[in-house]
Structure 1
C-alpha cells in the first residue's frame, strides 16, 4: 500500500515527489552514516515523504534531539502526522523548505546541526532551489552538514556555490541508484556573500 501511494503521488506531483518508489533502507543508512548522534541537538529533514530516513534518525538520535520535518505534499504530511503523533521532540510542518527560517522561529530552534533532504533539485524551479539552499546555509551551524541525494551528479556544481566542501558517494542498492552529497559549511558567510542573480543551476 505504501509503494502504491508513493507511485500515485509521483504521478500526480512528479516535480516535487521526484521518484516512483520510496528510498531504500540501504540509501537511508548511507544518508545518515556521517551524523554524529552523540552531539547533535537539532536535525531538519526536507521532503521526508513516507519517513524512510526519518525512521532511521529517530532510532539513532538522543531522545531529546529535536527533529523538524518539512513536507509540502498533503498526503505525506498527513501520513507523517499520524505515524509520529506519539513521538516526543518531533515537529512536522506542512509547507515549503524555502520558509525554513520561519519554521525554526516557530519551534524556537536556534540553529541546525544537520539538514537531511529528499528534495528533487533536478526538477525544482531554479528560484526555489536557490532560496532553499541559501536559507539552509543561514540555519546551519559552522561545520554543519546538508545531506541530500540525487540520481545524477548534474547538480554538484550548483551545490558548490553554497557549500565549501562536498563529498559524493554512490548507493546502487536503490531504485534508481543514487548519489549521496555530504555538503559542509567550513566557514559561515554573510548573506551578502551570495549573489542570487549570479547563481546558476
Structure 2
C-alpha cells in the first residue's frame, strides 16, 4: 500500500514520465514476463521499473547467475528500488535514462541484453527521446533477443515498427487502465538504417 501511495504521488508530480496512476497489476506483470527464457537468459534489463512490480517476478524466476539491470529515471523510485532489493546478488540499479543503456552496460562490462522489459510511457515521451531509446535498445539486444513493453494505446505501434521486424500484441484488461503487451523482435542490425531513423 505504501508503494501505491508513492506511485500516485509520483504520477501527480511527474505525469509524463510515470504514465499511470497505479502500479501494474499482477496479471499484466505475469503476461510481461511469460515468454522470457529464464533458463538461458544471462542479462535482463528493465526500463522504468517504478516500484519494482515486474522486477520482483523477474528476480524470483531468474537463475541466480543472471544479471538484472534496472534503469530508473525517477529519483524517488530509484531510492525505493535500492532499498527494496538491497540484498540481491547480480543486480544493478541505475539512476538514469534508458537513452544511455549502451553506456551503462559498457560501464558494467555487460556485452548485451537477452531481454529488455520496459515500463516507459512512449505515448507521453518526446519523439526524439523515444527514438534514442529504441535505437539504443537495438544496439544492445543480442541476436534473437526481445524487447517487451506495455502501452495503454496503439498510437506508438507505427514507431515501434520502424525498429522491430515482428511485433506480437496481447491485451490485458485486468489492469488500471487496461494495457497492450507488445513483444518486439528487432530488425537485423544495420548502422546505416539506424542512423537514418
TM-score (norm 1): 0.95
Unaligned runs of 5+ in 2: none
Q: Which contiguous aligned blocks of 4+ residues in structure 1 show a shift greater than 2 angstroms?
A: none
Give the structure 2 partner of residue 38 of structure 1: 39
Give the structure 1 partner of residue 95 of structure 2: 94
Task: Establish whether residue 159 from structure 1 lines up as the match of residue 163 from structure 2.
Answer: no
Distance 2:133 2:170 in 1: 22
Equivalent residue runs for 1:174-193 within 5 Å: 174-185=175-186, 187-193=187-193
Secondary structure class of the residue paired with 2:80: helix
Distance 1:189 1:176 in 2: 34
Distance 1:194 1:90 in 2: 30
TM-score (norm 2): 0.97
Secondary structure class of the residue paired with 1:194: helix
Give the structure 2 partner of residue 49 of structure 1: 50
Give the structure 1 partner of residue 107 of structure 2: 106
Aligned residues: 196
Unaligned runs of 5+ in 1: none
Distance 2:195 2:157 in 1: 18
1:68-103 alpha-carbon deviations (Å, 9 max, x no partner): 000000000000001111100010000000010110
Equivalent residue runs for 1:1-201 within 5 Å: 1-185=2-186, 187-196=187-196, 199=197
1:126-183 alpha-carbon deviations (Å, 9 max, x no partner): 0000000000000001111000000011111110000010000000110000000000
Measured on the aligned residues, the alpha-carbon RMSD in Å equals: 0.9
